[in-house]
Structure formats: C-alpha cells, structure tokens
Structure 1
C-alpha cells in the first residue's frame, strides 16, 4: 500500500434513506446508498464535491480499505491531499449508483417482499433516478448546495443531470469523456453485452443466486473493454504478439488480455446490474441541437467539459455538442480537448495536464 499523498484507510458506509419514487412511478423501498467521504466539511458546508463514477465503478474513489490493499480507489490519482480534488480544501463524497452492485439498492439487495435478492425484479432506474438518490444522500449529510459535481463517462451524464435537476444546489459542474445521449453505435455495443448475458445458460431470467451467468458477463466485459482503449494503445501494448500462456485460449496477446479482463470482472460485478446500468446509459437523452440547448437551459452553474483526442467511444464531437448548447443557452462553460493515446479510459489515468485543468477550474471559481 502506497499512502503517499493518499486519503489513507477509508471505510465504505451504507445509509438507509427515505423511500424514493422513481421516474417510472415505482417506489424504491428501502433506499440504500453506499458511500465514502474524504476530507472535512466546512462550517459553512460550502466545500462539498460529489464524485460520480462510470459504469463499473463504485463508492471507493480514493484511498485504501486496508493496509494490505494493493490498489487504491478508482480515482485516487485525483482525489487526495494536494491533488486536483484536494481533500485538505474540499469535502469529497463518492457514492455507488442505485441499480449497481456495490452496496446501494440494486438487483443484489434483498427484496422486502420475497426476502431474496431482487434480481431482475428490481425496477428500472434511470440516470435521473440515480441523481435523485444522490440528492437524498447529500441532504442526509446536511448539505444544501454542492460546490461541484464531477464525473467521467456515465459519471459525466450524472453531472449534467445534476445541473438541470437541481440547478439551485450546484455551483460547478465537471463533465469528462461523456455525452448528452448515446448514438446508435454506443447503444449497439451495450446491446451486444446484454445479449451475451441473456444467452448464458445460467441466466434463468435474471433470478439466479448461486450459479450466475459468469460466461455471459465476462463476454459483455470483453466487448465493453475494447471500446475503452484506442487502436494506437492496443497496437503499442499488444501488436500481433502471441500470448504468454495457453494458446488454446487465444492466438494473440490482446485476446488473452481481454479474456483476463472478462474473467476478473465477474468476481466483482453482477450480471443483472450490468444490464440495468447499461440500459440507464442507453435511455439517457438530453437531445441534440436546439433540444439539448433547451434541456440545459435550467442550469445555473459553471461548466468544465473535457474530451480526449483518442476517445472513439465518446468522441470529442459529442463533448463539443454539449459545449455548443451550453453557450447557446448563455452558460459559463470552459472546454478542453486533451491530446491522449489511451482512449476512453484517459480520464481515469494519471495526466498532469488533466490535473492542471481540474485544479485551475476549481481554484478559480470567479472566472
């Protein structure tokens, strides 16, 4: 464990909040939210930042859960003392989305009716529902106005939704590697992943308990992971090299890598949650052009939008479309396209330029 410039040992907490009415009319009861906090909330409660995670993320954004942990939270590069989200200045909150599988209400939580995990009987949740649940958590923590909401990919969608769902409760919004709605291609990749899960012999209409559809979920992860990398990065990392291990698994190193990614993913994620969260992504739509401009009109906060040159999953053109609509609705918005070679995952990785951009935006709120 490397605790240098780290928030140190942290613990995921779970809180039960008042019932939540979802956008489709369903009542989520009980509402459980798993979350972590880093730093200290100021007396005026004006330094709180909410970090929103991507598809496979969770509440553990920074620090370590134990001294034996080899890997810190998923955004530890940017959350901690002296980092972009400086925990000596800010009170940082990170929560697991509802519909997920890391402690918040989702398919793995127990149904009060059956006494068993919800499984596929869990109600559909949208990005807007996820944000409503986060708003309940923020209120529970005694915070009326957030200094900032920030997130990449699906987290960026949540940040955008915050700006229009609760415009009076947010001062700054950071959207990285994201979009205002999925294109047909982006929906298509998610559909292939869902179909892989549905085709698994252990799917059992989503009512599995012990024998989960591991193979289908692994295949879904393999498809998804391809979209997170760039062609240049894959060529640099794997080329046409043979794998080091068993050729029966794959003839190529990149194939062996994807198999490993899929097999390791099933130990930390749930197949039902994968379906629920990807559907929430696909159904999220603030529109395009004039429709998007109108959708963003209620927002009152400043915006920072960041895209990445090598990101072909959520290309810079989709970020620029958000920026164009924000400008058309007279919002204060800053846009940066970072030149990277790592693809969509760029926002998760250490990058001094990204560090400087995030820090500069947060430390100069008057601009």
Structure 2
C-alpha cells in the first residue's frame, strides 16, 4: 500500500490534530483541537473528569471518529480509518487482562491482528522481548491473578508494545495503584519510553504524574486545550488563572486593573491594597480581560507579628487558622483582613524560621512582587 503524506504535515510529529471536534448529540466533547505531538516524546493530556481528554485519546486510537477535522499519524490522515489498521496501541486503566491465560499468552494476544501475522517462532521471540522490556522475563508461565497490580500493569504494557506501534496510548495507567507503587511505575514508564524510543501519549487527572513524566502537557477544559507547554513553563508561566489553579496551588488576589507598564500589572483590591506583579509571557495583556494576581504558597513568607519584613514588597497581618505538617514542608493557612485567606508553605530546611508558630498565633505574611503572576481570570475563550 502506497504511503501518502498529507501536504503541510509536520515531519517531526507522530500525531497531528487539525481543527478536530467531536460531538455526542448536543454534547461537545472536543472543540476545534489543534496540536501536534513530537516523535519520540512523552505527551500528557491533563484535566478534570469530563474535560474531553479521554475522548481525544480514543480519537487517536480510532475507537472514536471526529465529527469534523482531520487526524494525522506520521503524516498520514487516519480520519475514518478503523483502530486495527492504525499503528497505535492502548493501555487501559484496568489493564483488561485475560485471567484464563498466562502472562505469555496475554502478551501474545496483542499479535492476533498483526499484519503480517508472525509465525509461531517469531511470535515467541517477540513475546519474550516484550516481557524482557518490562522486566518480567521470568514470569511468562504465571497466571495474571498471581501477579501484583504493578506487575499486571507491566503485562498490559508488554501486550501493547509487542506489536511495535508508532504511538503508545495510556489511559490513566497508574490510577489503580497505591501511591508508593504509582511512584515506582512512573520511573518504570519513563525508563521504558526512553528505551523503546516511541511516542507515548498519556491521559491523567493527576498533576504530579503529568509534571514528573511528560516532555509536554496539554491542559484541557470543557473540550478545549487551554495551554500546551513543558511542565516548567506551565508551572512558572501559566496562560491564565485556570491553568495556575490546576497545575500546583496558588493564592489568588482579585481587584481592579490600574495600569500595565513594562510587562507589569498594577491591581488594587477592594480593600484598597495595591499589588504589582509581572504578566507571564503566556498571558499577554488585553483590555477586555479581568486580571488577578497569583502567588504560589512556597513563594510566600511568614514572620512574627509586626516583625521587620526586610526584602518583602507586600506584607499584611493575619492569624494562623491551621498548621498542616506535610513531611518535606509545613503549610500554614492564615486569615487576613485585607487579602482574605492565604496559604504559606515553608520547606523543611526553612522550618527554623516558623517552627514556633501555632494555630491562633498572630503573624505577618508577605512576598516579593516579582514572585507573583498577573493572570487573566478567564479560563476558556467564549
């Protein structure tokens, strides 16, 4: 069969969406999606339940067809092409392993629709190679119900990889695992992706998972992609309030925009407090938008009440309502009269500064202006 490349396709991309939309009756699951996934990269779709991320993944797989637009795999249009004719495989959240088959038979099942279908000797070789990739080379004769959750997930990965797909799709792959095992499997997935060198696309609602594993992340909301960027850029330069709120945590301060000068926005709160912060590169100023200032809890300082606040541009008095020990840091939730409730996170190596603070204590909280982010309030374009 002749390979026909779509004019203008990106030779560096394994997946491209060109104005793709998907509707189920009156429900819009995906709206005018335009993005590409670079060859050999680890890409994540991150968003809350119902945002459209799983529908997007299923359209890549071929389990759903777009209502409009075009999907390209390795430069070729696959819109309308059934799943079994696409060079992609998918690992599901609940693995979908067969309990009556042993580990090798489960992995070999992935070759059932391979074209051309390998003979028995080649099939055995490919199954063994796939099991070695996921470090289960000695487990071929085990029943899947004899394995741990993490081992079962590796079997599902081996079954998906045995077909040697161009793109591996992962639908909430770690959701069924406990926290410790989830951390271990994050490392394993990264190792595997680097070793096999193929494109991984993952759907998750876990921001820590996406930040720790991905080269690029697309934040989705209400069927739209709000921002696609590296984990570092998403955290340090969110496009708007929705992204800043979803990726990490922030204190948000609202008010009236007074001026914008040299990339810095000045805002006055309803209580008359003037705040200034730089606009992030991803959130260019528009007079039509309302703005807020976001300050990450770890960017804030907490001091004794009325203490000399050297180096801080903004300081306000408050009272500690909660003190939460989190192991590597301690979070203080402070009620202030002029800025509402704020969260301050103090890392372990700085705890000597705040170790004596207890619930009910009067304190001073503050931050340096350049540590804040001026962001558009709107999360999705109308």
Higher fraction of strand:
2
Higher fraction of helix:
1
Q: Same fold (TM over 0.5)?
A: no
Task: State the TM bucket, normalised to the shorter chain.
Answer: under 0.3
